Amino acid sequence: MALTEVSSNKSFGGYQKVYSHESKEVGCTMKFGIYLPPQAEEGKKLPVIYWLSGLTCSEANFIEKAGAQRYAAEHGVIIVNPDTSPRGLNLPGDSDAYDFGEGAGFYVNAMQEPWKANYRMYNYVTVELPNVIGTNFEIAEGKQSIMGHSMGGHGALICALKNPGFYKSVSAFAPICNPSECPWGIKALTGYLGPKETSSWADWDATELVKKYNGPALELLIDQGMDDKFLSEKQLLPENLFEACKAVGVPAILKKREGYNHSYFYIASFIGEHIKYHAEALLK
């Protein structure tokens, strides 16, 4: 699959690049960022961590604000971060709200018109994008992990839970843990999948998926700022996920960060811990 280099900047001895390509899965031009640490120039096959961003984001937010390059270079891991949704399709209503349509793909495969032909971000993230990365870059086989923020934290969790053994580890900053029960999730799942009573919302909800997880041991690392307004507004619902994990014996860690909110200032403060966590799992 042909890639077009959009930008390249040297950073901490490696290169932060952005590429575009024509996606068959979502039917438009997609962009993704990839940080290639200095170890990549030595011809080594390196592990990869996928980052999924949140509502309103593109591939640029993580690249410019998270400060991840320093830690990726330290640990010798590649980081790939795709856009959050298809763009430029001009579907009816795809730009009417910040929490649905462009910038808000929710990492599901839509089942409703007019979304189902293009809003297939789950397949893009778990199948097409890994194939693109594996074909064009020196990637260590079977060595991938996944993390994300907010809507992207939801995406990271469902990708790991729906693909047992594919990802070596998973973590999430302030994830939407139980979208079937929060305003953001109810709006998105209704629009993309249809009414709850007639569709499979549970297949796209980490709290429901963990109840039936049957695969290799998987630990969920959840990071939550305790001054996050979306926590108090009941958009995130980590308590529901942790109750479900406890009930079925799936290990989960909750790191409570006093005084931190939902922003990239918070993410940048702890991204190094997450990259180290994944690197330890990937480099075993």
228 part of the active site: yes
């979502």: which residue's tokens? 26
154 part of the active site: no
d(CA 27, CA 100) in angstroms, rounded, equals 18
* Structure tokens given for 198: 């007639």
Calculate Rg over the CA atoms of the chain: 18
* Structure tokens given for 274: 């997450």
d(CA 84, CA 122) in angstroms, rounded, equals 10
d(CA 84, CA 94) in angstroms, rounded, equals 13
If you write DSSP's letter for every residue of 136-181 in order, what string do you get?
HS-EEEEEEEEEEETHHHHHHHHHHHHSTTTSS-EEEES----GGG
d(CA 145, CA 274) in angstroms, rounded, equals 11
Contact 166, 144 (CB under 8 A): yes
Of 150, 154, 169, 223, the catalytic one is 150
Of 75, 149, 262, 274, the catalytic one is 262
203 part of the active site: no
Q: Which residues are catalytic?
A: 150, 228, 262
